[in-house]
Structure 1
Amino acid sequence: MATTIRVRHQDAHEFVVSLLKASGVSASNAGIVAQGLVEADLRGVDSHGINRIPSYLARIRAGVLDAKAEATVTEVTPVVAQVDAHNGFGFPAASLAMSTATRMASTFGIGLVSVKHSNHFGMSAWIVRQAVSAGMMSLVFTNSSPALPVWGGKSQLMGVSPIACGAPGGKDSRPFILDMAPSVAARGKIHKALRRGEKIPKGWALDSEGRETEDPAEALKGVMLPMGGPKGSALAIMMDVFSGVMSGSAFAGGVTGPYDLSGPGDVGHFIVAIKPDLFVSLEEFRERMDILYKRVVESDKAAGVERIYFPGEIEQLTEEERLKDGIPYVQDEIDAMNAEADKLEVPRLRVA
């Protein structure tokens, strides 16, 4: 295991903003992208953190991601809207979609926003947290580039498209935050293993010949494996229906991935915000969330289990630790990011 180097989250955020601004991204959009990436690193979702920056900048230089694009929103009904990302970053487009959905939900109880012509928006949980901060429940869907076979198939067709949702906690409980891929593991974890020179666990992926592999490079040439067999495959198709087919964005294998310089991503997202007090009072909702949390974490433990966690709790605990001690990166990752800084003539990443 490579030695890690700790970086303060403030320094990571400032570094990403400087790279993006030097690449033509507006200050406000650069701040949103940096927030989403740094939140992923803080929560231990390193596959979706600031190490994504070199691939994003490569897409800007290749002309397949518009650094200067500004997302726009069109109201369809009082509770439905669509955001057009105009081939800009997915982060500000998704953030605009969620803020629009929460505004609608605060008045009408629910807000539904579709996003078209977007790009990778990082870790879905950061958009869920935006809703939680506004006191809302939420659903966050997206589609993504082909990586997963449909059940019974052998070629890449569906994306490893995350399913995320959340709800505010009670007085004595953490919020509920679910963010999961329909595959055994997120594809970003394969890229992370490749960057770090690590093997991947058996059962994550097959190589191009359909054989199980522990080599991340070979896994990226092959396919990811769906969780639960046909169940994971069906969930990936569901993400395509709601995020791609419905929005007018790419679908059925048409999305271009964040590491692919061949063309625009044309990713679609589907975002819903819901007031938690539509059927019970907010006070009762919070009391019921406290009961749910307590019953989950205090459940009888299986043999060998020391602690039971609520969905999202491990990531929240990791964030508390990394806010205090810094975010760990390996030297190769820091070198790759500093190479981008040198190209753009901005200060290198400060390390602890």
Structure 2
Amino acid sequence: MAPPSVLVDAARLGAYVAAIFRAVGCDEAEASRISTHLLGANLAGHDSHGVARVPRYVEWCEAGYVLKGQTAEVVTDGGCFALVDGKFGFGQTVAPQAVELGIARARQHGIAVVGLRNAGHIGRVGDYAETAIRANLISVHFVNVAGSVLVAPFGATDRRFSTAPFSVGVPLPGRPLVLDFATSLVAEGKVLVASNGGKPLPANALVEPDGRLSGDPHTLYGEYGAVGPRDVTKGQGAIRAFGEHKGSGLAFMCEMLAGALTGGGTSGPVTARTRIANGMLSFYISPSHFGTEAEFHATGRAYVDWVLSANPVPGETVIAPGDKEAATRADRLANGVPLQPDTWAGIIATAQRLGVAQPD
């Protein structure tokens, strides 16, 4: 049986994480952005993209893989479309800059397409869909990870894809919808959480080189200690795509759109010069410019209500995209953020090494 979670007050946890990134050299604004984004993932129940990432982010920053204080550069500007280079800055810095550009252009033109390349790990993609929703915009996001080969395509055991997230945000009055998932059966961060004593993986989440299915994080990481870094290059297996050929096909398209089209590169083949970075191709649509905003809101809300009125399977609840995250956020803000003991120990060890005092 897994040890009980450590409950940490959300505000104190956010302040602690921000202090860690200030200690590694980020300015106040950047440290706060990174902390807010990672904590936000935990609050939404996406622990794989939350504060469990802190030790890895710090390692990447110290190694020079991710750079502090970067400003994304617009390298192609066509008005309603643009290509942005993140210059390997922290994803929580350069991705919001790209999103803000897309929102501004969609407000101006009614639609915008923005490509982002060479960004540090951008974290939970649904956060950017929620940002667009607050601007009353529909958004669609295709994401890849250049240089990160973790997922086997349908029918294979070799790694070929990144976890390739996909997200859609739909603004409806009082009922926004946020669809957000990795095209892998589980995100790599969920394997990380499981390796730290967190929620176990499904027994078919991973695949061994001989084709056997596995739920053991060692399949991806090889041997590792109870506390410390995980190295995906040490494992011999791969994560599986979700939904068999359908998820595999969507992952393929994420690599094409977010990786090849943006010029940031696809997941592989990996060479000695390959640098891990996120790419994202985002579409923003303004319902008010489209000319059907009133109909969209009325029809959309009516459809959501009709879907949710479906007779549930015994023991289940019919939910819309984003409902689970909203409920988890309310609970964790009220009762604290649960962290696995090994995850918490890893964060504390990183903080102590940087001279950051642990909160009560």
Determine the structure 2 residue equivalent to 1:272.
283
Residue 334 (str. 1) matches residue 344 (str. 2):
yes
Residue deviations 1:180-212 (CA, integer Å, cap 9, x gap): 122222221111100116642211111243321
Residue deviations 1:2-54 (CA, integer Å, cap 9, x gap): 21222222222212221112212232222222221111100111111011010
Q: CA deviation at 1:74?
A: 4.2
2:9 and 2:337 in contact (8 A); partners too: yes
| Corresponding residue to 1:231 among 240, 246, 256 | 246
What pairs up with 1:140-289 in 2 under 5 angstroms?
140-144=141-145, 145-171=148-174, 174-196=175-197, 199-220=200-221, 221=235, 222-254=237-269, 264-289=275-300
Q: CA deviation at 1:255?
A: 6.9
Q: Distance in 2 between matches of 1:279 and 1:72?
A: 29
Q: CA deviation at 1:263?
A: 6.2
Q: Distance in 2 between matches of 1:197 and 1:285?
A: 41
Structure 1: which amino acid aligns with 2:322?
G
Change (3 A) 1:5 1:266: closer
1:64 and 1:263 in contact (8 A); partners too: no
Q: CA deviation at 1:262?
A: 8.7
2:152 and 2:239 in contact (8 A); partners too: yes
Change (3 A) 1:157 1:143: same
Q: Distance in 2 between matches of 1:282 and 1:200?
A: 42
Q: CA RMSD in A?
A: 2.0
Determine the structure 1 residue equivalent to 2:305.
294
Change (3 A) 1:285 1:199: closer
Q: CA deviation at 1:154?
A: 2.3
Determine the structure 1 residue equivalent to 2:232.
none
Determine the structure 2 residue equivalent to 1:321.
331
Determine the structure 2 residue equivalent to 1:11.
12
Residue deviations 1:128-161 (CA, integer Å, cap 9, x gap): 1111111111011210221112233321011111
1:7 and 1:326 in contact (8 A); partners too: yes
Residue deviations 1:299-351 (CA, integer Å, cap 9, x gap): 1223x244200011111111011111111112222221111111111222x35
Determine the structure 2 residue equivalent to 1:137.
138
Residue 307 (str. 1) matches residue 317 (str. 2):
yes
Structure 2: which amino acid aligns with 1:283?
A
The normalised TM-score by structure 2 is 0.89
Change (3 A) 1:148 1:330: closer
Determine the structure 2 residue equivalent to 1:58.
59
Residue 47 (str. 1) matches residue 48 (str. 2):
yes
Residue 94 (str. 1) matches residue 109 (str. 2):
no
Change (3 A) 1:198 1:288: closer
Q: Distance in 2 between matches of 1:90 and 1:254?
A: 23
Determine the structure 2 residue equivalent to 1:118.
119
Q: Which segments of 5 or more consecutive residues in structure 2 lack a partner in the other structure? A: 222-234
Number of equivalenced pairs:
343
Q: Distance in 1 between matches of 2:17 and 2:111?
A: 34
Change (3 A) 1:255 1:249: farther
Q: Which segments of 5 or more consecutive residues in structure 1 lack a partner in the other structure? A: none
| Corresponding residue to 1:347 among 350, 353, 357 | 357
What pairs up with 1:68-87 in 2 under 5 angstroms?
68-74=69-75, 76-87=77-88
2:110 and 2:290 in contact (8 A); partners too: no
What pairs up with 1:19-38 in 2 under 5 angstroms?
19-38=20-39
The normalised TM-score by structure 1 is 0.91
Change (3 A) 1:263 1:19: farther
